[in-house]
């Protein structure tokens, strides 16, 4: 995937667009890339490598799952510091002036026009791409379910987080319940159920916008980023999550196609 969204390049990447799995993966915080016009937003270079700019490790894990399950992956190619694709347009942290404890100078006091420009640059293309892919597949009568892949920092505002992985969900637990059960059965993992975040934190936005209104089974996965800091960790987590998701996705496909279920019964 190219480091895109620079001066007209795409702000969203579709990886494996023709793949056959009912699973559609999304990674909203895949990149820490700032298009040149933004400079460094007033931050030191080192800050742009931290979790405040992106979800370190999330993209390679999502790519590894997508490859193993023959699933399509949609990833933003622009840092969440420009505009956060996983927030509603009225969220106070859509364009964060403060991330954890780090002020973002280039995000302070933006005009309405500048806010709109950022939404049009990265937020809108991401969501239009998700919507187009979902609509195409539903129009073809294909079953569909959706999972988003994120990572979280081991320590936030000085507090250590005990979870290795968290599954975020709302009242529709068709995917999250078996996924949490599968992760717990792995042994040795501290599994968060709506930890370290929950939909009440307004972090469930992509799924609330696209999957829930269409009745699509969905879940959000958060992996602690120190576990996926290198290729070995990323590969191990992609392998584990692909193995756990495979039968869940197969079940969702059957559930979404009642006529086929009858035929094969």
Residue of 29, 51, 164, 210 interacting with Zn ion (CB under 5 A):
29
What secondary structure does DSSP assign to the chain, as a single string? -----STTS-SEEEESTT---SEEEEETT------GGGTTTT--HHHHTSTTTS-TTHHHHHHHHHHHHT-EEEEE-S-TTT--TTS-TT-TTTT-SEETTEE-GGGTT--HHHHHHHIIIIIHHHHHHHHHHHHHHHHTT---EEEEEEEE-SEETTEE---SEEEE--S--TTHHHHHHHHHHTSS--EEES-S--GGGT--HHHHHHTGGGT--EEEEEEEGGGGSSHHHHHHHHHHHHHHHHHHHHHHHHHT-HHHHHHH-
**Binding flags for Zn ion, 133-162, as an x/- string (CB under 5 A):** -----------------x------------
Q: Does 210 bind Zn ion (CB under 5 A)?
A: no
CB of 65 to Zn ion, least distance (A): 15
Cβ proximity to Zn ion, 241 vs 256, nearer residue: 241
Cβ proximity to Zn ion, 49 vs 116, nearer residue: 49
Q: Does 55 bind Zn ion (CB under 5 A)?
A: yes
Give the interface segment with Zn ion, choosing from 21-29, 37-45, 102-110, 232-240 (CB under 5 A). 21-29
Give the interface segment with Zn ion, choosing from 18-26, 51-59, 134-142, 177-185 (CB under 5 A). 51-59
- Indicate the residue whose CB is closest to Zn ion: 150
CB of 27 to Zn ion, least distance (A): 8
Q: Does 84 bind Zn ion (CB under 5 A)?
A: no
Q: Which residues bind Zn ion (CB under 5 A)?
A: 29, 55, 150
């Amino acid at each position: 995937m190219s480091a895109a969204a620079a001066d007209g390049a795409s702000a969203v990447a579709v990886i494996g667009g023709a793949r056959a799995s009912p699973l559609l993966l999304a990674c909203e915080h895949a990149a820490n890339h700032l298009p040149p016009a933004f400079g460094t937003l007033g931050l030191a270079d080192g800050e742009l490598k931290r979790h405040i700019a992106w979800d370190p490790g999330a993209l390679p894990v999502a790519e590894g799952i997508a490859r193993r399950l023959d699933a399509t992956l949609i990833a933003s190619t622009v840092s969440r510091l420009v505009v956060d694709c996983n927030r509603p347009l009225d969220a106070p942290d859509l364009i964060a002036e403060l991330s954890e404890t780090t002020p973002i100078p280039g995000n302070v006091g933006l005009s309405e026009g500048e806010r709109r420009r950022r939404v049009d640059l990265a937020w809108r293309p991401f969501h239009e791409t998700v919507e187009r892919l979902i609509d195409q597949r539903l129009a073809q009568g294909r079953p569909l379910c959706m999972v988003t892949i994120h990572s979280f920092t081991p320590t936030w505002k000085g507090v250590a987080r005990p979870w290795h992985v968290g599954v975020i969900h709302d009242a529709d637990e068709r995917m999250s319940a078996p996924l949490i059960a599968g992760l717990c059965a792995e042994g040795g993992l501290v599994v968060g159920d709506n930890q370290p975040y929950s939909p009440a934190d307004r972090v469930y936005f992509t799924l609330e916008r696209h999957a829930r209104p269409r009745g699509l089974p969905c879940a959000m996965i958060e992996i602690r980023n120190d576990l996926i800091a290198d290729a070995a960790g990323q590969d191990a987590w992609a392998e584990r999550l692909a193995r756990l998701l495979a039968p869940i996705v197969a079940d969702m496909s059957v559930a979404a196609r009642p006529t086929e279920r009858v035929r094969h019964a």
